[in-house]
């Protein structure tokens, strides 16, 4: 089998990304309080269809995802089709790959185009940390099932007596690894300790992210890829990400207490991504169909890779595993890239991955290669700021990164860019995009 990946259809046409859009990203319980992931997904898809002036009848498939599932609408993709101006006969299904979910939805649509099953599809993801499937305790859930079966009042009373007050408390979904119980923040703490990442370096990366994101918003370029979202009942709107600290002052970062290891930790609210609400989407087409319809693609997928590692220790290392694979499949080295975009889940996780990119020992021991992936050139790295500033509505981040990389490459006159992310479950995703 060849190492190179052929991301084309049978006619040799590349997979074009013709448009990308997202809602502004909002911190938990702020602008999108009460707006579900599904409603944000519908908003962004509707606006994307309208801005790209595409006949919705032409969209043959929609693949979408959300990490925090809404039990009432488990197939969010199909609900988006039914809830927007799309054709009811558009095929739609949902995927989940934790924080790399919309990398997966993009790849699923790309693969449908590569096999020739479709010519045009839409992909993306949406998450709300404000409209949550609040659950009940295991004991209460068990008792409710038993109560439903109980025949007599005496039986029902006996079941109810098994419950204490704390069993009646609501249970919000955890941002934690199912099999280890460790929160993502605790994993970031592990990584800070394993890789000796200082608090000062974490704070400096977060400050850089906020500063660059502020400059990017002020330059006006994001308006092309971020819509204004009108919030039902349509008396308010949001047109800019609200987590970005426009007057980020490095000294104020040092004052914060660690959030996940109060005594010995270094991961704080300022050097973590906040819990965020938002949605994003892209339109993909075969190169031939894009040209026939008169679209100027914003980019093409050159290669992609997904990887997995164990979850007990330092599991947010996905970029260090997925990137070399995507590079190999593209026939490239890190230094060939014009831009490098890495999802900043936590500053500690980002810095640990950056360190391993430059480590020959890591390459030899973990990747079976005799040279490091490559030192990261900071003039190419997260040049518009990253998730620490923009926020991270889990399933929406992948297609945010893909769109942002393509558009920035275009502004720089073309080239190739990497978009990569870690994800819960020890997963990693990487995609190389090329822009003319």
Ligand X SMILES: CC(=O)SCCNC(=O)CCNC(=O)[C@H](O)C(C)(C)COP(=O)(O)OP(=O)(O)OC[C@H]1O[C@@H](n2cnc3c(N)ncnc32)[C@H](O)[C@@H]1OP(=O)(O)O
> Which residues form the interface with ligand X (CB under 6 A)?
99, 175, 184-185, 206, 210, 245, 248, 252-253, 256, 259, 269-270, 272-275, 316, 345, 392, 422-424
In this chain, which residue has its C-beta nearest to ligand X?
A: 345
| Residue nearer to ligand X on the CB measure, 5 or 323 | 323
* HEC secondary structure over 8-30: ECCCCCEEEEEEEEECCCEECCC
For the CB of residue 245, give the shortest distance to ligand X in the complex, in Å. 5
By beta-carbon proximity to ligand X, the closer residue of 344 and 434 is: 344
Query: Catalytic residue at 99?
Result: yes
Of the two residues 202 and 403, which places its CB atom closer to ligand X in the complex? 202
Task: Answer whether 345's CB lies under 8 Å from 273's CB.
Answer: yes
Distance CA 331, CA 347 (A): 30
Nearest to 244, CA basis, from 40, 386, 405, 31? 386
- Burial 36-67, CB ≥16 within 10 A → b, else e: bbbbbbbbbbbbbbeeeebebebbbbbbbbbb
96 touches 109 (CB < 8 A): no
Shortest distance, CB of residue 184 to ligand X, whole angstroms? 4
Helix (H) or strand (E) holding 139, with range, is helix 138-149
With respect to ligand X, which residue has the nearer C-beta, 253 or 300? 253
DSSP 239-278: -S-SS--TT--HHHHTTSPPSS-TTT----STTBPPBEEE
Catalytic annotation, pick one of 207, 343, 406, 422: 422
The nearest distance, CB 316 to ligand X, in angstroms, is 6
Cis preceding linkage at 233, omega within 30: yes
Query: Which residue, 223 or 252, has its beta carbon nearer to ligand X?
Result: 252
- Answer yes or no: are the C-beta atoms of 290 and 244 closer than 8 Å: no
The torsion angle over the Cα atoms of residues 152, 155, 157 and 161, rounded to 10 degrees, is: -170
CB of 252 to ligand X, least distance (A): 4
392 is catalytic: yes
Contacts of 123 (CB under 8 A, 6+ apart): 62, 63, 64, 102, 105, 106, 108, 109, 281, 282, 284, 399
Backbone angles phi, psi at 33, to 5 degrees: -60, 125
Min. distance of Cβ 392 from ligand X in angstroms? 5
Q: Is 406 marked active-site?
A: no
- Of 207, 210, 392, 406, the active-site residue reads 392
The distance of closest approach from Cβ of residue 362 to ligand X in the complex, given in angstroms and rounded to an integer, is 19
Residue count (the chain): 436
Which of the residues 99, 207, 210, 343 is marked catalytic? 99
Active site residues per annotation: 99, 392, 422
């Amino acid at each position: 089998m060849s190492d190179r990946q052929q991301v084309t259809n049978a006619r040799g046409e590349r997979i074009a990304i013709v448009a990308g859009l997202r809602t502004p990203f909002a911190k938990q319980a702020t602008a999108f309080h009460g707006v579900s992931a599904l409603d944000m997904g519908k908003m962004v898809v509707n606006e994307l269809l309208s801005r790209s002036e595409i006949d919705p009848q032409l969209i043959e498939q929609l693949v979408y995802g959300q990490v925090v599932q809404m039990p009432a609408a488990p197939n969010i993709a199909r609900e988006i089709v039914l809830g927007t101006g799309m054709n009811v006969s558009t095929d739609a299904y949902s995927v989940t790959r934790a924080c790399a979910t919309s990398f997966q939805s993009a790849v699923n649509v790309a693969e449908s185009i590569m096999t020739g099953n479709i010519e045009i599809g839409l992909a993306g993801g949406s998450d709300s940390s404000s409209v949550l499937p609040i659950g009940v305790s295991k004991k209460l859930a068990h008792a409710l099932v038993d109560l439903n079966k109980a025949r007599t009042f005496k039986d029902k009373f006996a079941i109810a007596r098994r419950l204490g007050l704390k069993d009646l408390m609501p249970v919000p979904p955890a941002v934690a690894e199912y099999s280890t119980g460790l929160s993502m923040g605790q994993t970031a703490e592990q990584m800070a300790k394993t890789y000796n990442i200082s608090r000062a370096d974490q704070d400096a990366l977060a400050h850089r992210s906020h500063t660059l994101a502020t400059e990017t918003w002020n330059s006006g370029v994001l308006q092309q890829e971020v819509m204004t979202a009108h919030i039902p009942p349509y008396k308010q709107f949001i047109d800019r990400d609200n987590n970005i600290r426009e007057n980020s002052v490095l000294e104020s970062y040092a004052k914060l207490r660690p959030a996940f290891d109060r005594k010995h930790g270094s991961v704080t609210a300022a050097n973590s991504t906040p819990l965020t609400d938002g949605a994003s989407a892209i339109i993909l087409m075969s190169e031939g169909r894009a040209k026939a319809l008169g679209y100027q693609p914003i980019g093409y997928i050159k290669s992609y890779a997904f990887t997995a590692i164990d979850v007990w220790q330092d599991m947010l290392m996905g970029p260090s595993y997925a990137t070399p694979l995507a590079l190999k499949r593209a026939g490239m080295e890190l230094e060939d890239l014009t831009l490098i975009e890495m999802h900043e889940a936590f500053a500690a996780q980002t810095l640990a991955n950056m360190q391993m990119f430059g480590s020959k020992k890591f390459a030899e021991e973990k990747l079976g290669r005799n040279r490091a992936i490559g030192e990261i050139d900071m003039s190419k790295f997260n040049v518009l700021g990253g998730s620490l500033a923009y926020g991270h509505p889990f399933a929406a981040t992948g297609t945010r990164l893909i769109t942002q990389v393509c558009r920035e490459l275009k502004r720089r006159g073309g080239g190739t860019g990497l978009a990569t992310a870690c994800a819960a479950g020890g997963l990693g995703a990487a995609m190389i995009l090329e822009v003319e």
